[in-house]
Amino acid sequence: MLFKKNIENLAAFGGGRIYCKNIDFKKIVFNSKEVKGGDVFIPLKGQNHDAHKFISEAYDLGAACVVSEKKIENKNHILVKDTNIFLENIAKKQRELFEGLVVGITGSNGKTTTKETLSKYFKEKFKQNDVYKSHGNFNNFYGLCFSLLELSPHHKVGFFEIGTNNPGEISKLANILKMNLSIITNIGNAHLEGLKNIDGVANEKSDIFVFTKDEGYCLGDIPKKYLNLVRDKSSGKKRIFTSDNDPKKLMKTAIIKINDLLEVEYLPEEIDSFLDKKIDVPGRFEIRKSKSKALIIDDSYNANPDSFLYAFKKIKNLDLSKISFIEKGSKYQKKICVMGQMGELGEKSEELHKYILKEASLIFDIVLAIDFKVNLKESNISFFKREEIDSYLKEYLEEDALIFFKGSRSVKMENIIKNLT
């Protein structure tokens, strides 16, 4: 953390009243089961949970202090009105104290891949510990606050994802993060249940530019239809917007501008060489073999219509000769797509599911659709429930099969793949 870890500082920055002596603490913990001696436990509240019921467990495990919305007799605690607001205040203080560069990334898809790629480049350029990146897809309110609490004085730059499901969420998170450089990877059909339509997506995502610092940069691969919108949101700031649908070009621009902000020298050809290398991100177009030597392409991390289309394009252009572990001459002639349903598409759900199914049927020999609530009569498309697919897939695990997996998190495609590899 960026401030001295004692109870007085914690209460002052978070906004609470102390009911104990000013003692030092080791770390802040939000899961009572992870509490160790000397930690501070903050019980958070959501629509369906309230961790205050685990306060006794936290004390039993050695918590030095607990943050609580209720008084606790004869126990070290900080009394607050709302533990979520307390967490937000501490996260904002961390951001205020951080002297390094902050990069915020949002978009309909490609956030995690962009974050992983940019952080890897700068970890190779600096020392590993000089670069911070948020964990996995920690891109909601809790994830962002937890991530900010991990910043340390030795970090020169931090990379953070910002996600959204409903209007106003980007503004809330971006106002906490206050980026030196912000990126919109793309604007497409995702989270339509809360954002209604692609216009709503564009309006929500572009709020990240409102909270980017004036001396920073706003970057994005933006559909031409929304260029005026993002220009308005980024008014008065340095900005570079394209409409190329080219993730590599966007990442190169980001690397150049981050280098500029850090006042670090670079060679353009060095950046090109780095971006030509495949960056392995779990569940993001990972290529490996199954136990039966079928070729597995694991793109199971998540799914929306645009990320499906992008993955289909990569499948069509896939050069097997460039994959080191594939034997020369292997063709994998039978192409199979295992598709999980896509979530949060609102009123357009049926239309978009049918569209993606149709596109898949044109590329793959066999399409296996899991938990789809639509029907489409194509000779190479079959529909299954999640519990049926494992046994059915065994029929296709031949050496010449290429099997592509993708679906929303709710389908848990990674468990299907785990059984095969």
pLDDT tens for 140-157 read 999 999 999 999 999 999
Three-state DSSP class for 191? coil
Segment 301-323 mean pLDDT: 88
Q: How do strand 17-19 and strand 28-29 relate by DSSP bridges?
A: unpaired
CA distance 404 to 362: 14
CATH topology of domain 286-420: Protein-Tyrosine Phosphatase; Chain A (3.90.190)
Report whether pLDDT(65) > 80: yes
Segment 108-113 mean pLDDT: 91
Kindly report the CATH class assigned to 98-276.
Answer: alpha beta
Segment 278-299 mean pLDDT: 86
pLDDT tens for each residue of 176-223? 999 999 999 999 988 888 898 999 999 999 999 999 999 999 999 999
Three-state DSSP class for 242? strand
Three-state DSSP class for 401? strand
Out of 30-39, 47-56, 149-158, 398-407, least confident range? 398-407
Report residue 101 as tokens.
Answer: 């560069």
pLDDT, position 392: 84
pLDDT, position 363: 94
- Domain ranges for the chain, please list them: 7-82, 98-276, 286-420
- Give the Cβ contact number of residue 224 at 10 Å: 9
Q: Which CATH superfamily is domain 7-82 in?
A: MurE/MurF, N-terminal domain (3.40.1390.10)
Report whether pLDDT(420) > 90: no
Mean pLDDT of the chain: 93
CA distance 342 to 356: 10
Instruction: Give how far Cα 384 sits from Cα of 184, 235, 344, Å.
Output: 35, 49, 20
* Among candidate residues 119, 235, 103, the one with its CA nearest the CA of residue 177: 103
Tell how far CA 18 is from the center of its chain: 36
Report whether pLDDT(30) > 90: yes
Report residue 399 as tokens.
Answer: 């050496």
pLDDT, position 42: 98
Quickly state the pLDDT bin for 367 (edges 50, 70, 90).
very high
Report residue 68 as tokens.
Answer: 């609580």
Quickly state the pLDDT bin for 254 (edges 50, 70, 90).
very high
Report residue 79 as tokens.
Answer: 């009394």
Report whether pLDDT(421) > 90: no
Quickly state the pLDDT bin for 73 (edges 50, 70, 90).
very high
pTM: 0.86
Segment 77-103 mean pLDDT: 97
**What is the CB-side half-sphere exposure of residue 395 using CA atoms within 13 A?**
7
pLDDT, position 218: 98
Report whether pLDDT(327) > 90: no
Segment 276-292 mean pLDDT: 84
Q: What percent of the chain has pLDDT over 90?
A: 73
Report whether pLDDT(137) > 80: no
pLDDT, position 413: 87
For residue 328, which phi and psi values (nearest 5 degrees)? -60, 135
pLDDT, position 84: 96
Q: What percent of the chain has pLDDT over 70?
A: 100
pLDDT, position 322: 78
CA distance 266 to 254: 13
CA distance 53 to 46: 13
Residue that the structure tokens 């000769």 belong to? 321
pLDDT, position 364: 96
* Among candidate residues 204, 185, 182, the one with its CA nearest the CA of residue 193: 204
Report whether pLDDT(324) > 80: no
